[in-house]
C-alpha cells in the first residue's frame, strides 16, 4: 500500500457479481440444503466455486481458496506479512495505517465455503489487528507483444457509515524489486486493482510510478479513477475486479475494470519512456490482499483521523478467487519460471544435488553455514555451490535474473549472498563474475525472496556467447551467527541471458 490522498487511492481490490443460489440449492436436494444452511450458520458466504474460464486467455496462476474452515491460505501460494512494516522498511507500511498484521486465524482464514476472510479486530485497549498476504511468486508480467490480466472476485467488508470509518480493503500488485529493498517505491511500480475506504460504494483503480513526491504519476496520489460498483453496492455483494497490462499495440496501456466495465486507463505516452521502463523492465509483480485500518487515504476521505470510537470491528473482506491470465505475445506464461518474462533467457533451478537443472524437481532445502560473526561480504565462505556445464547460446544483451528462497528462521542479523560466474568456453577460467549485495533476512521463520533487485555489489569481465561453457552459482551467509536455509527444486530459479 502506498500513501495517497482522497482523490486517488494507492492499493487495489476487486469483487465480482454475486450469483443467486436459491435455484441451485433446490436442485441439490435435502442433504445439500442442510449443508448450505449449516455453512450459513457459521458465517460462510456464497462463493462461485472454481476460477471461471476466460475464453482466449491462458490461465497462468490462480487460487480459489477452497479448504477447511479456519485454515490459513495455501503456504505454497501465499506468504503473510506481519507487524507494522517490513523489516528495515517504512514504519506503518509507509501509509500511516495503524493495525498490526498477524497470522491469527481470527484475522485471516478460509471460511470453508470457498472464500478467504480478512477480518480487522479491535481489542479492549483499542488496538487494531488485521491481515495482509502476498503471492510467493513475483514474476507476473505481460508477455512481450501480449497482455496480462489480474482478476479477483471480492466482497468488501459489509459495513457503512460511521461504523466503517478507517476500513481500507485492497487488492493490488507491487514490482518485484521492492522485496528486500522497501525504499525503491514508487519507481518499481504499483498497480492498485481495487481499493475502497470508509465503507463507500465506490472502487478506485490507481497506478503509482516514477518519483515521490510529484513525477509522472503525481505522487503520492498516483494516477487514479473511481466509480460506484455496478448493481448492488460494493459492500452488499461480490464484484469482479480486473487489471490488464496490454503490450500488444504500438503503445503499451494499463486498464482497470469492475464487473467487466472499464473505468480507468493509463498509456505509456502519459508516463514517459524512462518511468515506464523502470516499472516494467524488471522481473514482474507480486499480488497482495489486505484490509488496513486508518492511514492517509481513509483519513483524507473522512476528513478526520480514522478509525474512530464509532468504527465497528469484525467485518470481513471476502475473496472468492484470485487469478492471473495471459493472452498473445510470445505465448508464454510470464509467471511460469520455465518461460521467463520476455522469453529471452534460459531458466535453471538450484538442485539439492549441487546441479543447475533445466526442469523443476521436488522442493527441498540445503543449509548455509553460519558466518560465525565474521564479515564475508563479497567473499564466499563455506558456500553452497551449484554448477551447470555444456552451456551453448548467444548472449541476448540482457542481465542475469534470479529468485532465491532463503530463510534464517529466528536468527538475527543474517545476510545471504550470491555470486554467479560464467566460463564461456568451459576451459576453467571465469570470463564474467557477478556478486550481488547480500539479503538481510528477518528473524521470523518463513521463506523470503532474494532477487537481483538487491543490485550488483561488484562484477568483472563481460558476457559473450557460450560454447560448451559453465555456469556456477555460489550462495553463503555473508554476516550473522546463525545458519540459513536455501530452497531448492522448484523454489530457487536462475534466468540466464542466453538464447
**What DSSP string describes 41-110?**
HTT------SPPP-TT-EEEEEE---S-TTPPPPTTTEEEE-BTS-TTS-GGGGTT--PEE---TTTEEE
Q: Give the residue from 328, 361, 394 where a domain finishes.
A: 328
Q: For the purposes of burial, counting CB atoms within 10 Å of the CB of 214, is it exposed (0-12), middle (13-18) or buried (19 or more)?
A: exposed
> What 8-state DSSP symbol labels residue 338?
T
**Can you give the length of the chain in residues?**
499
Do 284 and 139 meet the contact criterion of CB atoms below 8 Å apart? yes
Shortest CA distance to 195 belongs to which of 207, 187, 183, 184? 207
CA 22 to chain CA centroid, Å, is 36
Low-confidence ranges of the chain (pLDDT < 70): 1-49, 330-345, 360
The pLDDT of residue 15 is 28
Whole-prediction pTM:
0.62
Q: Are residues 258 and 178 in the same domain?
A: yes
Shortest CA distance to 280 belongs to which of 271, 291, 288? 271
The pLDDT of residue 33 is 34
Residue 11 lies in a domain: no
Q: CA separation (Å) from 266 to 38, 185, 245, 256, 471?
A: 46, 19, 10, 9, 41
Element holding 39 (H helix, E strand) = helix 30-41
Residue 430 lies in a domain: yes
Cell of 314: 469484525
Residue 337 lies in a domain: no
The pLDDT of residue 70 is 97
- Between CA 347 and CA 356 the distance in angstroms is 9
Domain count of the fold of the chain: 2
Q: Are residues 58 and 181 in the same domain?
A: yes
Residue 268 lies in a domain: yes
- Give the CATH number, domain containing residue 364: 2.60.120.260
Q: Give the residue from 328, 357, 385 where a domain finishes.
A: 328
The pLDDT of residue 48 is 59
- Between CA 119 and CA 108 the distance in angstroms is 6
- Give the CATH number, domain containing residue 187: 2.60.120.200
Place of cell 435455484: 23
372 lies in which domain range? 344-496
Q: Are residues 412 and 309 in the same domain?
A: no
Q: Are residues 267 and 118 in the same domain?
A: yes
Place of cell 483519513: 299
Q: Are residues 290 and 372 in the same domain?
A: no
> What 8-state DSSP symbol labels residue 221?
T
Query: In this structure, is the dihedral angle defined by the CA atoms of residues 403, 409, 411 and 412, taken in order, positive or negative?
Result: positive
Cell of 262: 472499464
Q: Are residues 184 and 238 in the same domain?
A: yes
Secondary structure tally for the chain: helices H, strands E: 5, 31
Q: Give the residue from 294, 328, 362 where a domain finishes.
A: 328
Residue 274 lies in a domain: yes
Q: Are residues 443 and 406 in the same domain?
A: yes
Do 405 and 448 meet the contact criterion of CB atoms below 8 Å apart? yes
Shortest CA distance to 2 belongs to which of 252, 201, 279? 279
- Between CA 87 and CA 93 the distance in angstroms is 10
Q: Are residues 72 and 190 in the same domain?
A: yes
- Between CA 410 and CA 12 the distance in angstroms is 32
Q: What are phi and psi of 94, to 5 degrees?
A: 80, 5
Residue 60 lies in a domain: yes
Q: Are residues 266 and 349 in the same domain?
A: no
Q: For the purposes of burial, counting CB atoms within 10 Å of the CB of 242, is it exposed (0-12), middle (13-18) or buried (19 or more)?
A: buried
Do 156 and 196 meet the contact criterion of CB atoms below 8 Å apart? yes
- Between CA 196 and CA 163 the distance in angstroms is 15
Q: Are residues 87 and 215 in the same domain?
A: yes
Cell of 209: 510510478
Q: Are residues 395 and 294 in the same domain?
A: no
Cell of 286: 507480486
Residue 95 lies in a domain: yes
Q: Are residues 176 and 302 in the same domain?
A: yes
Residue 2 lies in a domain: no
Side-chain-side CA neighbours of residue 296 (13 Å) = 18
Cell of 422: 560464467
Q: Are strands 493-496 and 346-350 parallel, antiparallel or unpaired?
A: antiparallel
> What are the tens digits of pLDDT across the range 377-435?
999 999 999 999 999 989 888 889 898 989 999 999 999 999 999 999 999 999 999 99
Amino acid at each position: 500500500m502506498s500513501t495517497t490522498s482522497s482523490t486517488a487511492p494507492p492499493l487495489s481490490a476487486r469483487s465480482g457479481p454475486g450469483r443467486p443460489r436459491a435455484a441451485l440449492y433446490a436442485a441439490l436436494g435435502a442433504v445439500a440444503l442442510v449443508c448450505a444452511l449449516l455453512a450459513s450458520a457459521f458465517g460462510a458466504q456464497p462463493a462461485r466455486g472454481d476460477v471461471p474460464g476466460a475464453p482466449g486467455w491462458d490461465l497462468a496462476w490462480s487460487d480459489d481458496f477452497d479448504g477447511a474452515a479456519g485454515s490459513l491460505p495455501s503456504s505454497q501460494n501465499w506468504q503473510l506479512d506481519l507487524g507494522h512494516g517490513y523489516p528495515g522498511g517504512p514504519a506503518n507500511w509507509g501509509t500511516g495505517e495503524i493495525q498490526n498484521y498477524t497470522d491469527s486465524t481470527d484475522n485471516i482464514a478460509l471460511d470453508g465455503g470457498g472464500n478467504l476472510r480478512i477480518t480487522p479486530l479491535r481489542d479492549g485497549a483499542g488496538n487494531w489487528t488485521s491481515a495482509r498476504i502476498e503471492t510467493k511468486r513475483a514474476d507476473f508480467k505481460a508477455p512481450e507483444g501480449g497482455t496480462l490480466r489480474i482478476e479477483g472476485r471480492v466482497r468488501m467488508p459489509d459495513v457503512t457509515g460511521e461504523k466503517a470509518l478507517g476500513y481500507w480493503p485492497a487488492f493490488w500488485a507491487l514490482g518485484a524489486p521492492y522485496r528486500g529493498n522497501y525504499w525503491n517505491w514508487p519507481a518499481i511500480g504499483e498497480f492498485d486493482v481495487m481499493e475502497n475506504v470508509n465503507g463507500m460504494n465506490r472502487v478506485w483503480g490507481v497506478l503509482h510510478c516514477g518519483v515521490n513526491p510529484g513525477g509522472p504519476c503525481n505522487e503520492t496520489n498516483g494516477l487514479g479513477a473511481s466509480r460506484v460498483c455496478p448493481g448492488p453496492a460494493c459492500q452488499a455483494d461480490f464484484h469482479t475486479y480486473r487489471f490488464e497490462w496490454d503490450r500488444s499495440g504500438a503503445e503499451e496501456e494499463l486498464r482497470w475494470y469492475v464487473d467487466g466495465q472499464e473505468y480507468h486507463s493509463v498509456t505509456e505516452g502519459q508516463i514517459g519512456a524512462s518511468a515506464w521502463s523502470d516499472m516494467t523492465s524488471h522481473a514482474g509483480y507480486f499480488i497482495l490482499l489486505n484490509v488496513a485500518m486508518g492511514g492517509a487515504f481513509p483519513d483524507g476521505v473522512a476528513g478526520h483521523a480514522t478509525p474512530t470510537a464509532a468504527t465497528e470491528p469484525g467485518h470481513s473482506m471476502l475473496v472468492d478467487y484470485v487469478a492471473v491470465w495471459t493472452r498473445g505475445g510470445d505465448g508464454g506464461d510470464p509467471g511460469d519460471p520455465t518461460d521467463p518474462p520476455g522469453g529471452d533467457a534460459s531458466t535453471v533451478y538450484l538442485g539439492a544435488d549441487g546441479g543447475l537443472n533445466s526442469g523443476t524437481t521436488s522442493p527441498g532445502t540445503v543449509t548455509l553455514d553460519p558466518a560465525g560473526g565474521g564479515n564475508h561480504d563479497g567473499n564466499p565462505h563455506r558456500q553452497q555451490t551449484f554448477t551447470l556445464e555444456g552451456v551453448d547460446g548467444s548472449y541476448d544483451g540482457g542481465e542475469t535474473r534470479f529468485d532465491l528462497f532463503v530463510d534464517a528462521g529466528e536468527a538475527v542479523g543474517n545476510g545471504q549472498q550470491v555470486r554467479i560466474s560464467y566460463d564461456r568456453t568451459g576451459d576453467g577460467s571465469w570470463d564474467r563474475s557477478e556478486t550481488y549485495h547480500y539479503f538481510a533476512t528477518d528473524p521470523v521463520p518463513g521463506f523470503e525472496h532474494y532477487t537481483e533487485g538487491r543490485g550488483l555489489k561488484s562484477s568483472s569481465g563481460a558476457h559473450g556467447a557460450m560454447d560448451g561453457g559453465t555456469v556456477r552459482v555460489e550462495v553463503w551467509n555473508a554476516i550473522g551467527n546463525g545458519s540459513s536455509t536455501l530452497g531448492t527444486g522448484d523454489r530457487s530459479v536462475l534466468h540466464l541471458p542466453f538464447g
